[in-house]
Structures are given as C-alpha cells and as structure tokens.
Structure 1
Amino acid sequence: MACKLSKWQSELSRVRGKHSSLTKALDYCIKRWEALTRYLDDRHVPIDNWVANQIRSWTIGRANGLLAGSLCAGQRAAAIMSLIRSAQLNGHEPHAF
C-alpha cells in the first residue's frame, strides 16, 4: 500500500506542476516519507509527539516573557513556567509545592 501511495504521489506531483497546493502537500509528505513508513512498519511508534503539543503554549509564553522588563525577569518567568508545566505533565499538582 505504501509503495502504491509513493508512486501515485510522484506521478501526481509531475502532472500538477510545482506551484499547485496539491503538489506542495505531496512534497511535504514525500520529504517525511521515512518517518511515515517507520510509523506504518512499527505499530508502537506514536503518530504524534503529544509532549511537544502539551508544552507549546508554555513555550510561546516563555518567548513572550522576553518582554518581562529585564533579562533576569524573563529568565525567571521561563524557568517557573517550565517547572509548572513539567509538574503537570508528570501528574503533580504544581501549587502543592
């Protein structure tokens, strides 16, 4: 099935042209072909990285913390947010500490 998909993608990319939205989507898939086939070959490989998704909002907040008034204040805010989110991800209540 994966081989058929790969051939279909390659053929369709040639037919549609380089600038079509479909070709861009297919190119995205082709560039990540090794990861996709690894997932298909081993059912134990997770399809996504849920940890990265869990900390994304905190990472954005940490970047916004750069405007905290000073470098030290931003670094402290980033450290505290990282500790709180890590505690939550590990099943702990951060406010208990």
Structure 2
Amino acid sequence: MIARGEYFAAHEALEGAWRVAEPAERDFLQGLVHVAVAWYHAAVTGRPVACERQLDKAARRLEPYAPVHRRLDVAALLGSIAAARGRFPDLPRPRLRRTRASD
C-alpha cells in the first residue's frame, strides 16, 4: 500500500497489525506506520514539521532491523527516509523492496 501511495490505508492496516504483534515485531511495524504517516503528511496534509518528526521516528524504529527483516530491504527503506529529509513536500517515493533473504 505504501509503495502505491495509499498512505492512509497503509497506516490503518499496519496499525492493526502492530496492535496484535509479538513484542519483537512491534517496533518494526511501528516504523512502517511512521513511514506511511510521514508520506501522508507530505502528500495530503501539508504539514512539514509533522512529516519530519515521523521520518525521525521511522528511522529510529527501523534501524535495528537493517539490513533485512521479514524479507523487506530495510536498508533501502532507511535510505529513502534519509533522502526524504528536508525535501518536503516533494518526497521521493519510499523504496520498499522484497529480498530473497529470509528472516
């Protein structure tokens, strides 16, 4: 959903998953929620401070899961987050790539 620009729907789905997730997965899912919310602020609400805060929260939550977690290339996503900082409202789309590596 995030890759398709469906940021609000992604936020809702991920938040639901986060609420019932095992403790070891919660930070990962919360990080993805923050990604969706950051891009939502850039694309819809026009709130640069909120966007930057969400980018910071996303990076903090996701960094421990790099380079790959649940077949998601977290390192590439962190690169997207870094590239998005300071580029409001024209954030490049986040890179959400699946890998063959298992985790």
Which entry has the higher C-alpha Rg, 1 or 2? 1
The normalised TM-score by structure 1 is: 0.29
The normalised TM-score by structure 2 is: 0.28
Higher helix share: 1
